[in-house]
Amino acid sequence: MSLRLPPLALLTLLICSCGTRPEWYSLPVQYAFNPSAEPRVVGSIVSMDDTFIENYVLSGVLPGDRGSSWRWANEKVELRFQLGDIKPVRFLLEFVIPHSTFDITGPVNMSLALNGQPAATMTVDKPGQKRWIVPVDPAQFDAITPVVALITVDKFYQSEHDGTKLGFMLQRAGFEQ
Protein backbone atom coordinates (compact mmCIF):
# COMPACT_ATOMS: atom_id res chain seq x y z
CA MET A 1 0.00 0.00 0.00
CA SER A 2 1.49 3.29 -1.02
CA LEU A 3 0.69 6.54 0.64
CA ARG A 4 -0.03 9.22 -1.88
CA LEU A 5 -0.42 12.78 -0.72
CA PRO A 6 -2.19 15.24 -2.92
CA PRO A 7 0.33 17.60 -4.59
CA LEU A 8 -0.97 20.67 -2.70
CA ALA A 9 -0.55 18.98 0.68
CA LEU A 10 2.95 17.84 -0.30
CA LEU A 11 3.89 21.37 -1.34
CA THR A 12 2.54 22.76 1.95
CA LEU A 13 4.64 20.27 3.96
CA LEU A 14 7.75 21.16 2.01
CA ILE A 15 7.29 24.91 2.45
CA CYS A 16 6.66 24.57 6.19
CA SER A 17 9.73 22.37 6.66
CA CYS A 18 12.05 25.02 5.25
CA GLY A 19 13.66 26.73 8.15
CA THR A 20 15.60 29.73 6.93
CA ARG A 21 16.63 32.18 9.57
CA PRO A 22 16.31 35.88 8.89
CA GLU A 23 19.54 37.45 7.82
CA TRP A 24 21.35 39.78 10.19
CA TYR A 25 21.46 43.44 9.21
CA SER A 26 23.51 46.13 10.87
CA LEU A 27 21.80 49.22 12.25
CA PRO A 28 21.58 52.13 9.84
CA VAL A 29 23.91 55.06 10.38
CA GLN A 30 22.57 57.30 13.18
CA TYR A 31 22.66 61.07 12.87
CA ALA A 32 22.35 63.72 15.59
CA PHE A 33 19.53 66.22 15.13
CA ASN A 34 20.80 69.60 13.99
CA PRO A 35 18.16 72.30 14.64
CA SER A 36 19.91 74.75 12.35
CA ALA A 37 19.19 72.44 9.42
CA GLU A 38 15.44 72.77 10.02
CA PRO A 39 13.51 75.56 8.36
CA ARG A 40 12.64 78.45 10.64
CA VAL A 41 9.00 78.39 11.63
CA VAL A 42 9.06 81.92 13.02
CA GLY A 43 11.19 85.00 12.47
CA SER A 44 12.48 87.83 14.63
CA ILE A 45 9.45 90.13 14.37
CA VAL A 46 5.74 89.73 13.65
CA SER A 47 2.83 91.96 12.73
CA MET A 48 -0.71 90.88 13.53
CA ASP A 49 -1.60 90.89 9.83
CA ASP A 50 1.11 88.34 8.97
CA THR A 51 -0.15 85.19 7.29
CA PHE A 52 1.48 82.82 9.79
CA ILE A 53 0.72 84.76 12.99
CA GLU A 54 -0.45 81.55 14.70
CA ASN A 55 3.12 80.19 14.58
CA TYR A 56 4.31 83.07 16.77
CA VAL A 57 1.48 83.06 19.33
CA LEU A 58 1.87 80.64 22.23
CA SER A 59 -0.97 82.09 24.30
CA GLY A 60 -2.95 85.18 25.17
CA VAL A 61 -3.79 86.61 21.73
CA LEU A 62 -7.42 86.35 20.68
CA PRO A 63 -8.27 85.23 17.15
CA GLY A 64 -8.86 88.08 14.73
CA ASP A 65 -9.95 88.67 11.20
CA ARG A 66 -7.39 87.62 8.59
CA GLY A 67 -5.40 90.63 7.47
CA SER A 68 -6.40 92.77 10.46
CA SER A 69 -3.52 94.95 11.68
CA TRP A 70 -4.31 94.34 15.36
CA ARG A 71 -5.58 91.66 17.72
CA TRP A 72 -6.85 91.81 21.25
CA ALA A 73 -4.42 90.49 23.84
CA ASN A 74 -5.36 89.07 27.23
CA GLU A 75 -3.61 90.02 30.46
CA LYS A 76 -0.72 87.63 29.60
CA VAL A 77 0.67 87.22 26.10
CA GLU A 78 3.34 84.69 25.12
CA LEU A 79 5.02 85.04 21.74
CA ARG A 80 7.94 83.11 20.32
CA PHE A 81 10.62 84.35 17.98
CA GLN A 82 13.67 82.88 16.31
CA LEU A 83 16.44 85.36 15.69
CA GLY A 84 18.44 83.63 12.97
CA ASP A 85 21.33 85.76 11.78
CA ILE A 86 20.28 89.06 13.35
CA LYS A 87 21.93 90.35 16.49
CA PRO A 88 19.08 92.10 18.27
CA VAL A 89 19.72 95.25 20.22
CA ARG A 90 16.13 95.97 21.18
CA PHE A 91 12.71 94.42 21.66
CA LEU A 92 9.86 96.36 20.07
CA LEU A 93 6.19 96.28 21.05
CA GLU A 94 3.61 98.35 19.20
CA PHE A 95 0.17 98.33 20.80
CA VAL A 96 -2.92 100.38 21.62
CA ILE A 97 -4.67 100.94 24.93
CA PRO A 98 -8.17 101.97 23.80
CA HIS A 99 -10.03 104.79 25.53
CA SER A 100 -12.94 102.43 26.20
CA THR A 101 -10.87 100.07 28.35
CA PHE A 102 -8.60 102.76 29.85
CA ASP A 103 -11.67 104.58 31.21
CA ILE A 104 -12.39 101.45 33.27
CA THR A 105 -8.86 100.30 34.19
CA GLY A 106 -6.99 103.56 34.51
CA PRO A 107 -3.17 103.50 34.19
CA VAL A 108 -1.79 100.07 33.30
CA ASN A 109 1.56 98.60 34.36
CA MET A 110 3.14 96.37 31.74
CA SER A 111 6.04 93.98 32.14
CA LEU A 112 8.22 92.10 29.70
CA ALA A 113 10.11 88.86 30.36
CA LEU A 114 12.38 87.20 27.80
CA ASN A 115 12.94 83.46 28.23
CA GLY A 116 11.60 83.74 31.77
CA GLN A 117 13.94 86.56 32.80
CA PRO A 118 12.46 89.98 33.67
CA ALA A 119 13.53 92.50 31.02
CA ALA A 120 11.53 95.71 31.60
CA THR A 121 8.43 97.36 33.02
CA MET A 122 6.51 100.45 32.02
CA THR A 123 3.42 102.37 33.07
CA VAL A 124 0.90 103.45 30.46
CA ASP A 125 -0.76 106.51 31.98
CA LYS A 126 -2.93 107.56 29.03
CA PRO A 127 -4.75 105.72 26.28
CA GLY A 128 -3.73 105.59 22.63
CA GLN A 129 -1.16 104.06 20.34
CA LYS A 130 2.16 103.18 22.01
CA ARG A 131 5.61 102.04 20.94
CA TRP A 132 7.66 100.34 23.67
CA ILE A 133 11.35 99.83 22.91
CA VAL A 134 13.42 97.76 25.32
CA PRO A 135 17.20 97.47 24.87
CA VAL A 136 18.43 93.87 25.07
CA ASP A 137 21.82 92.21 25.31
CA PRO A 138 22.39 90.26 22.07
CA ALA A 139 24.78 87.89 23.90
CA GLN A 140 21.88 86.31 25.82
CA PHE A 141 20.32 84.92 22.59
CA ASP A 142 21.49 82.57 19.86
CA ALA A 143 20.39 82.00 16.28
CA ILE A 144 18.77 78.61 16.83
CA THR A 145 16.96 78.60 20.18
CA PRO A 146 13.52 80.25 20.10
CA VAL A 147 13.04 83.26 22.35
CA VAL A 148 9.79 83.41 24.34
CA ALA A 149 8.51 86.89 25.18
CA LEU A 150 5.94 87.20 27.97
CA ILE A 151 4.06 90.52 28.12
CA THR A 152 1.74 91.06 31.06
CA VAL A 153 -0.56 93.85 32.22
CA ASP A 154 -1.69 94.35 35.79
CA LYS A 155 -5.16 95.68 34.90
CA PHE A 156 -7.50 94.61 32.14
CA TYR A 157 -11.10 94.90 31.09
CA GLN A 158 -13.19 91.78 31.66
CA SER A 159 -16.32 91.37 29.59
CA GLU A 160 -19.49 90.96 31.64
CA HIS A 161 -21.04 89.02 28.78
CA ASP A 162 -18.53 86.18 28.31
CA GLY A 163 -15.69 86.87 30.78
CA THR A 164 -13.10 87.59 28.09
CA LYS A 165 -10.11 89.51 29.45
CA LEU A 166 -8.92 92.37 27.25
CA GLY A 167 -5.55 93.86 28.11
CA PHE A 168 -4.44 95.77 25.01
CA MET A 169 -4.59 95.70 21.23
CA LEU A 170 -1.39 94.16 19.87
CA GLN A 171 -0.08 95.39 16.51
CA ARG A 172 3.55 94.32 16.20
CA ALA A 173 6.24 92.73 18.35
CA GLY A 174 9.73 91.34 18.01
CA PHE A 175 13.43 92.02 17.85
CA GLU A 176 15.20 94.66 15.79
CA GLN A 177 18.83 95.46 15.12
- pLDDT tens-digit series, residues 49-75: 998 899 999 999 999 888 889 999 999
Q: How confident is the model at residue 27 (pLDDT cuts 50, 70, 90)?
A: confident
Flag whether pLDDT at 2 surpasses 60: no
Higher pLDDT, 114 or 26: 114
Range of the domain at 61: 42-176
* Structural domains counted in the chain: 1
* pLDDT tens track for 86-128: 787 899 999 999 999 999 999 999 999 999 999 999 999 999 9
Q: Is residue 17 packed enough to be buried (19+ CB in 10 Å), middle (13-18) or exposed (0-12)?
A: exposed
Q: Indicate the average pLDDT of the chain.
A: 86
For residue 138, the model assigns a pLDDT of 84
| Of residues 113, 111, 120, 118, the one with CA closest to residue 167 | 111
Q: How confident is the model at residue 20 (pLDDT cuts 50, 70, 90)?
A: low
Task: Kindly report the CATH number assigned to the domain that includes residue 142.
Answer: 2.60.120.260
Residue 140 lies in a domain: yes
**Helix/strand/coil for 174:** strand
For residue 104, the surrounding DSSP H or E stretch is helix 99-105
Q: Report, as an integer, the average pLDDT of 20-43.
A: 68
Q: How confident is the model at residue 139 (pLDDT cuts 50, 70, 90)?
A: confident
- What count of residues does the chain have? 177
Measured at the CA of 126, the angle between CA 172 and CA 67, to 5 degrees, comes to 25
For residue 36, the model assigns a pLDDT of 54
Residue 133 lies in a domain: yes
Residue 36 lies in a domain: no
Amino acid type, 85: D
Residue 138 lies in a domain: yes
